[in-house]
């Protein structure tokens, strides 16, 4: 997850609120009252929600800034959650020791998705559920609009992050369920979640300007003049999804792939 280095605060302000939209589904799919491992904890929102349900939580993330942000959120909330700098496929957890596992938008960002899911399966106790989400292959409206704006502004290309075909998998329900089954997990649920993501236009732009994910890498690679043109065009396209009269708040229809699988 090296593409996340140095962008924790920009992520917290923007795309973290998008990722949080599936937290209720992930918690509902995994058993409360058991030891819970949250892989790729980000800002700590999911780990905190799990702890509030009475779960004993270990939260891990390979990015030190994200871990620091999670620890600060835990301190402010007065919760007791263990947090470590770590990630799959090198989780610092014994085999078959965890009763519930969440990996919220993790498998779509790692260098070896299959090795990552195998590691999640390794640490799951018999009967434990592993709940995973990824973004589908088709970009959501906020991303497709940014891409259109960047092309119209003549943005220079940036190196792609697409995995080699030997490592990649279809970014779909069938694709994620397939690698879960390959890892020896029994797939119990595989479907698409849909919801509306509401965010201030300034916060969304701050996330991109701060370097989050592919739009952030594209934005940072441009000259100041091109960045300004992209922003103007993107805001105009985003205004189609305005959630208020001023257009300062946006409401995007978004979707994610959810797979819940258990360790036999």
What does the alpha-carbon distance between residue 181 and residue 177 come to, in Å, rounded to a whole number? 6
pLDDT score for 245: 80
pLDDT score for 49: 97
Q: What is the mean pLDDT of residues 54-66?
A: 96
Residue 128, domain member (yes or no): yes
Residue 27, domain member (yes or no): yes
Domain count, the chain: 1
Residue 245, domain member (yes or no): no
Residue 56, domain member (yes or no): yes
What does the alpha-carbon distance between residue 176 and residue 159 come to, in Å, rounded to a whole number? 25
Residue 224, domain member (yes or no): no
The answer to whether the beta carbons of residues 121 and 130 sit under 8 Å apart is: yes
Cβ burial 60-75 (10 Å sphere, 16+ → b, else e) = bbbbebbbebbeebbe
pLDDT score for 2: 45
pLDDT score for 3: 58
CATH number at 108 reads 3.40.50.150
pLDDT score for 143: 97
pLDDT score for 4: 64
The answer to whether the beta carbons of residues 219 and 211 sit under 8 Å apart is: yes
Residue 58, domain member (yes or no): yes
pLDDT score for 58: 97
pLDDT in tens, 98-143: 999 999 999 999 999 999 999 999 999 999 999 999 999 999 999 9
pLDDT in tens, 88-100: 999 999 999 999 9
SS3 annotation, the chain: CHHHCCCHHHHHHCHHHHHHHHHHHHHHHCCCCCEEEEECCCCCHHHHHHHHCCCEEEEEECCHHHHHHHHHHHHHHCCCCEEEECCCCCCCCCCCCEEEEEEECCCCCCCCHHHHHHHHHHHEEEEEEEEEEECCCCCCHHHHHHHHHHHHCCCCCCCCCCCCCCCCCCCCHHHHHHHHHHCCCEEEEEEEEEEEEEEEHHHHHHHHHCCCHHHHHHHHCCCHHHHHHHHHHHHHHHHHHECCCCCCEEEEEEEEEEEEEECC
This prediction has a pTM of 0.94
Residue 69, domain member (yes or no): yes
pLDDT score for 149: 98
pLDDT in tens, 140-166: 999 999 999 999 999 999 987 788 889
User: Which residues constitute the domain of residue 165?
Assistant: 2-139+161-196+254-262
Residue 223, domain member (yes or no): no
β pairing state of 56-61 and 82-85: parallel
């Amino acid at each position: 997850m090296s593409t996340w280095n140095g962008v924790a605060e920009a992520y917290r302000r923007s795309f973290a609120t998008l990722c949080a939209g599936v937290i209720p589904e992930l918690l509902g799919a995994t058993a409360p009252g058991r030891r819970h491992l949250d892989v790729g904890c980000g800002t700590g929102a999911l780990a905190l929600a799990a702890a509030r349900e009475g779960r004993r939580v270990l939260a891990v993330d390979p990015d030190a800034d994200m871990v620091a942000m999670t620890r600060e959120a835990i301190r402010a909330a007065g919760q007791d959650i263990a947090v470590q700098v770590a990630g799959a496929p090198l989780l610092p957890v014994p085999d078959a020791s965890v009763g519930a596992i969440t990996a919220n938008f993790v498998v779509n960002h790692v260098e070896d998705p299959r090795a990552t899911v195998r590691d999640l399966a390794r640490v799951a106790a018999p009967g434990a559920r592993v709940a995973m989400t990824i973004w589908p292959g088709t970009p959501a409206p906020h991303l497709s609009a940014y891409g259109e704006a960047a092309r119209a502004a003549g943005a220079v290309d940036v190196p792609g992050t697409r995995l080699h075909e030997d490592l990649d998998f279809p970014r779909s329900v069938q694709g994620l369920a397939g690698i879960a089954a390959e890892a020896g997990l029994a797939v119990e649920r595989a479907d698409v979640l849909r919801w509306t993501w509401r965010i201030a236009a300034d916060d969304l732009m701050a996330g991109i300007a701060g370097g989050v994910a592919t739009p952030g890498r594209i934005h940072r690679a441009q000259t100041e003049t091109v960045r300004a043109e992209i922003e103007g065009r993107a805001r105009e396209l985003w205004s189609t999804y305005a959630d208020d009269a001023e257009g300062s708040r946006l409401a995007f229809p978004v979707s994610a792939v959810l797979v819940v699988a258990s360790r036999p």
